[in-house]
Amino acid sequence: MDAEKYVYGLLEDARIAGQNLASMDDAGRNILLVRMAAKLEADAQEIVKANALDVDAARAKMTKSELDRLALSPERIKAIASDILAVAKLPDPLKGEESWAVPSGLRIRKVRVPFGVIGVIYENRPNVTIDIASLCLKSGNACLLRGSASALNSNRALIKAISPVLEAAGLKGAVSFVDTPDRKAVDVMMKARGRLDLLIPRGGAGLIAHTIENSRVPVIETGTGNCHVFVDESADLEMAKRIVINAKTQRPSVCNAEEKLLVHRNVANAFIPMMAKALREKGVEIRGCSETLKLVPDAVPAKEGDWPKEYLDLIIAIKVVSGVDEAIAHINKYNSKHTEAIITENRRNAELFTRNVDAAAVMVNASTRFTDGGQFGFGAEVGISTQKLHARGPMGVRELTTYKYIVEGNGQVRG
C-alpha cells in the first residue's frame, strides 16, 4: 500500500467534511452525537466480537491490567455511549465573539472557529477512539485517528458503527481512521502540514518524543507529569500526609500522580519518618536524598537520574530543602511543567510558589490529582498539555478551537 496516497486520501475527505461540519450549528452537531451513541449501543454485539480478536491476540503479550484496558463489553459500550451524550450536553465551544471598530471605519470581529482537521495518535484503549471523535465533532473539527495496532479490530468496528450516522449527514470522513498497522502512515501524518491543522500524540513518553522530533504539523505535547509536592515548615502535617498518600497512591500510573516529595528542613524530623511509614503501608518504595536517608535509613539512595524521572509506579523520591526558594528552584529545574503543589499555612509562601513555579497547574493545599478536565469543570478532556503554546493543562472542547478575524468595511483602502 502507498501510505502517503492512502493518508492523503483520508485527509482530503476529512477536509471537506470539516468544512461542512464548520457550517453546522451546535444543535446540528449534538444530534449527530446522540445518533452516534444510539448506533454504538445497537451495534454492541458486533463490536464486542471484533474486540475479542484483539484481546485474544494480545493475551500472550500483555499484563492482566493491560488486557483489561483493551477489553470491551456491552456495559463498557453503554458507558462509552453515555460519555458521548455528556459531550453533547457541553456548552457550544464555538460561541462568543469579540468585536470592535477601528479609526479607519472598519469593524473587526474575532470569531471562534474549529481548527479544521485534527490528527490524534494514541495507544491501546479503544474507548479513546470514540472519546476523541466526539470531542472533535462537538468542536466542529474533523479528525484523523491513528490508534494502536493492538486495538485495530476494535477500532475498525467502532468506526464502522458510527460512520453511517456521519455519511447520512453528508459528513463522510468527518471521523477518519487509519485502518492499517503500517507505521509509515504515522510518518505521513507528521509531514502533512497544510492538510492537517493540529497533531496531538496521546500515549507514552516514547510516542510523544517521536512526534515532537519528527512532526512538521503543529503539535500539542501532552501528558508527562513529574509532579512534586512541597511540604512547607508551616504546613498542617496531617493534611500534608493525607494529600501525599492521595497524590502518590490513589492511581500511580497517571500523569497527575505525585512523583517527588520536597520537605522543609525545619519539619523534616517531624514529617519524613511518619510519611515514609504511611507510604510504605501502601506499598510505596522510598528513595531519598542524603538527609532523608538519615531519617529513613533503609530507603534507597536517590540518584541524580531520579529527579527528572516520571516513575508512574509506587515509587517516590524525597528531598529535604531549605525553604520555598529552594523548592521552587528544584521544581523549575526538574519538572515537566504539569502540576506542582505546596502544602502551607503561610500566605506569602503560597504566593511565591504559585507565581514562580513554572507549570500548567499549581496547587495550594490540594492533591496534584485534581489536574483533570472533569475536575476543572470542562466536562471532558482531550489530554493535558504540558507545553505553553495554545493550551496549557487540561484541554476541553474549547481548546480544540481557534479563531479568525472578519473585517467589514465600505471600500476602505490603506493610505
Q: Look up residue 140 and give its DSSP letter.
A: T
Q: Which of 19, 234, 266, 346 binds a copy of itself (CB under 8 A)?
A: 19
Pick the piece of the chain touching a copy of itself (CB under 8 A) from 38-46, 167-175, 290-298, 404-412: 404-412
CB of 50 to a copy of itself, least distance (A): 34
DSSP 370: G
Is residue 197 near a copy of itself by the rule CB under 8 A?
A: yes
* Neighbouring residues of 338: CB distance < 8 A, sequence distance ≥ 6: 223, 224, 225, 226, 227, 255, 256, 359, 360, 361, 371, 384, 386
Q: What is the grid cell recorded at 298?
A: 533503609
Question: Among residues 154, 393, 395, 397, which is the contact residue for a copy of itself, using CB under 8 A?
Answer: 393
- Report if residue 252 touches a copy of itself, rule: CB under 8 A: no
Sheet holding 315-321, edge to edge: 300-301, 285-288, 315-321, 258-264, 227-231, 339-343
Phi, psi angles (nearest 5°) of residue 344:
-160, 155
389 part of the interface to a copy of itself, by CB under 8 A: yes
Of 102, 105, 158, the closest CA to residue 132 belongs to 158
CB of 279 to a copy of itself, least distance (A): 14
Closer by beta carbon to a copy of itself, 46 or else 345: 345
218 binds a copy of itself (CB under 8 A): yes
Q: How far apart are CA 413 and CA 409, in angstroms?
A: 9
- Could you tell me the smallest distance in angstroms from the CB atom of residue 113 to a copy of itself? 8
Residue the block writes with cell 505546596: 342
Residue 140 interacts with a copy of itself (CB under 8 A): yes or no: no
Q: Which is nearer to a copy of itself, 286 or 363 (CB)?
A: 363
Instruction: Give the span between the Cα atoms of 54 and 47, in whole angstroms.
Output: 11
Q: Which is nearer to a copy of itself, 152 or 255 (CB)?
A: 255
Task: For CA atoms 13, 16, 17, 18, give the dihedral sign.
Answer: positive
Answer for which of 242, 294, 309, 330 binds a copy of itself (CB under 8 A) is: 242
Tell me the β-bridge partners of 114: 401
Q: Is residue 323 part of the contact set for a copy of itself (CB under 8 A)?
A: no
Q: Let me know: does 261 contact 247? Beta carbons within 8 Å.
A: no
Instruction: Determine if 173 is a binding residue for a copy of itself (CB under 8 A).
Output: no
Q: Is residue 141 close enough to count as binding a copy of itself by CB under 8 A?
A: no
Among residues 180, 266, 332, 346, which is the contact residue for a copy of itself, using CB under 8 A?
332
Q: What does DSSP say about strands 117-122 and 315-321: parallel, antiparallel, or unpaired? A: unpaired
User: Given the complex with a copy of itself, which of 47 and 247 has the nearer CB atom?
Assistant: 247
**Contact status: 304 vs a copy of itself (CB under 8 A):** no
175-177 and 142-146 as β-strands: parallel, antiparallel, unpaired?
A: parallel
The one among 52, 57, 149, 212 contacting a copy of itself by CB under 8 A: 212
The verdict on 216 binding a copy of itself (CB under 8 A) reads yes
Is 234 a binding residue for a copy of itself by CB under 8 A? The answer is: no
414 interacts with a copy of itself by CB under 8 A? yes
C-alpha cell at 40: 454504538
d(CA 235, CA 125): 40
Which of these segments, 33-41, 70-78, 181-189, 192-200, binds a copy of itself (CB under 8 A)? 192-200
- Of 1, 65, 213, 305, the residue at the interface with a copy of itself (CB under 8 A) is 213
Q: Which of 153, 246, 292, 344 touches a copy of itself by CB under 8 A? A: 246
Shortest Cβ 15–a copy of itself spacing (Å)? 8
How many Å apart are CA 245 and CA 261, to the nearest integer? 11
Q: Are 126 and 80 in contact, with CB atoms under 8 Å apart?
A: no
Say how many Å lie between the first and final Cα of the chain, rounded.
Answer: 56
Cell reading at 63: 499484563
Q: Least distance (Å) from a copy of itself to the CB of residue 241?
A: 10
SS3 415: coil
Selected binder of a copy of itself within 33, 220, 268, 317 (CB under 8 A): 220
Residue 198 found at the interface with a copy of itself (CB under 8 A): yes
Beta bridge pairs of residue 100: 108
63 lies in the site for a copy of itself, by CB under 8 A: no
DSSP state of 302: P
Query: Which residues form the interface with a copy of itself (CB under 8 A)?
Result: 19, 22-23, 100, 102, 104, 106, 108, 115-116, 193, 197-198, 212-213, 216, 218-220, 236, 239, 242-243, 245-247, 250, 332, 350, 354-356, 358-367, 369-371, 375-377, 387-390, 392-393, 402-414
